[in-house]
Structure 1
Amino acid sequence: MKVVIVGAGSVGCSIARELLAHGHEILLIDPKPEVIGRSGLRGARWLVGDACEITTLKEAKLDEADVVVSATGDDKVNLVVSLLAKTEFGVGRTVGRVNNPKNDWMFDDSWGVDVAVNTPRLMTALVEEAVEIGDLVRLLTLQTGVASLVEFTVPGDSYIIGSTVGTIEWPQDATLVAILRDEAPIAPSSDDVIEGGDELFFVSTIAAEDSLRALLSPSKAALRED
């Protein structure tokens, strides 16, 4: 599948990395040439330019793309790219990132958006009916049961509060992929400090879930073993 991703920030590069791992053909468009070197992506093609310009999209051969993902941090850019992709190039499927929830109503087929992704709202919807504070909750099973997306809401008395992400020895097969704080998603770095009420999202192997549970909620893990 040929996928064009507009915006090579943390979101765009994360999407590209996953799609490359699954064998898809990826082209990233970004106006900043320096993002190429720091992305760490291997196997992706790049185009430096303004994706809101028809000439850039023609150079990208957008008419040959199966999917266009508008993943920039600017809702105006994501809307314009989606509209051009759909109306000028006939792209079959467009995905638009919504940065400001107040703009959510514009991301529909009238602007050429087939799928709108509002990250804070998506994460909230995934967990609001399932989350038990202080316990690990499996949200999704991935790759036919090999891995999972799990969530942990940090209770106010957790011992990890005040610790930085980089100082916590996470299980080998569990990766912290996002922190949801005050309804805003944070791409975690080693210097981010854990706060009470944070919602931590991990991609983990099924086998590593127990180790992750024991790390985050040792008392409850002990009760399960008893």
Structure 2
Amino acid sequence: MRVAIAGAGAVGRSIARELIRNGHDVLLIDKSADTIRPERVPEAEWLLADACELSSLKEAHLERCDVVVAATGDDKVNLVTSLLAKTEFSVPRTVGRVNHPNNEWLFTDAWGVDVNVSTPRIMSALVEEAVSVGDLVRLFSFRQNTANLVEITLPEDSPYAGSKVADLPLPANCVLTTVLSGGDVIAPQPSTEVSAGDELIFVVAAEHEDELANLLAPRPDHPDDEDED
């Protein structure tokens, strides 16, 4: 797979190294001569160019890329790069880095972004995931499919603690993808047993999140919610 990364800062270089380790071809693009340091990622191709300029992207032969990652520290640049990659070069997949949470709503297919990666959202999700038991935590949103990657740590009082995966009456459009148990990563099978304290990771349609949470960690009705005589 060939991947072009706009932004050769710390984030872009880290992505490049990981992709190269996985056997992919990587092109790093940056408009700052000070940032172009090929010795930092010698296995990658480097290009001194402005990713917001159509002529620069033609020089980069973006039409040969399978994925374009807009990973600069400027949300405007990331949006323009994604839009040009998608509309002018028909790149199959674009990934846009969101630097400011107020701009996240812009990173959609209307701007040519297939997947947005919001650093603030990811960090807050990881904090929630680390301290929450029995609460459904959204880790990632799949924009194209209105589905989310969510996690829940099964509480002691869950009615399904000790149950087999086959016995979980999961809502429609919900798939259990991973069980993290005692430090082990388990690809769940119908016979896999889930226990209190296990971290369960699902792909679920957004409209079924509450149903899933209430199934695995039901909450008693709050007294204030009851009708008064």
TM-score range, shorter chain: 0.5 to 0.7
The answer to whether the 8 Å contact 1:7/1:72 transfers is: yes
The one-letter amino acid paired with 2:112 is: G
Whole-angstrom CA distance in 2 between matches of 1:59 and 1:38: 18
Whole-angstrom CA distance in 1 between matches of 2:44 and 2:130: 37
Task: Specify the alignment match of 1:24 in structure 2.
Answer: 24
C-alpha root-mean-square deviation of aligned residues, in Å?
Answer: 1.9
Relative to the length of structure 1, the TM-score reads: 0.57
Deviation of the 1:124 alpha carbon:
1.4
Q: Does 1:116 align with 2:116?
A: yes
Whole-angstrom CA distance in 2 between matches of 1:47 and 1:129: 39
Deviation of the 1:22 alpha carbon:
1.1
Map of 1:79-98 to 2, 5 A cutoff? 79-98=79-98
Q: Deviations over 1:17-62 (max 9, x none)?
A: 1111111100011011232327611210011011111110001000
Q: Deviations over 1:162-196 (max 9, x none)?
A: xxxxxxxxxxxxxxxxxxxxxxxxxxxxxxxxxxx
The one-letter amino acid paired with 1:22 is: N
User: For the structure 1 residues 72 and 55, does the alpha-carbon distance in structure 2 shift closer, same or farther, using more than 3 Å as the test?
Assistant: same
Task: Specify the alignment match of 2:6 in structure 1.
Answer: 6
Map of 1:77-226 to 2, 5 A cutoff? 77-131=77-131
The answer to whether the 8 Å contact 1:13/1:39 transfers is: no
Relative to the length of structure 2, the TM-score reads: 0.56
Paired positions, count: 135
Whole-angstrom CA distance in 2 between matches of 1:39 and 1:50: 20
Structure 1's unaligned 5+ residue stretches are: 133-138, 140-205, 208-226
Task: Specify the alignment match of 1:180 in structure 2.
Answer: none
Task: Specify the alignment match of 1:62 in structure 2.
Answer: 62
Deviation of the 1:13 alpha carbon:
0.6
Deviation of the 1:129 alpha carbon:
3.3
Task: Specify the alignment match of 1:33 in structure 2.
Answer: 33
Task: Specify the alignment match of 2:50 in structure 1.
Answer: 50
The 10-residue stretch of structure 1 (81-90 or 123-132) with the greater mean CA deviation from structure 2: 123-132
Whole-angstrom CA distance in 1 between matches of 2:28 and 2:38: 13
Whole-angstrom CA distance in 1 between matches of 2:56 and 2:25: 18
Q: Matched residue of 2:28: which SS?
A: strand
- Percent identity over paired residues: 64
The answer to whether the 8 Å contact 2:4/2:65 transfers is: yes
Q: Deviations over 1:140-163 (max 9, x none)?
A: xxxxxxxxxxxxxxxxxxxxxxxx
Whole-angstrom CA distance in 1 between matches of 2:29 and 2:39: 13
Largest Rg, 1 or 2:
2
Deviation of the 1:92 alpha carbon:
0.3
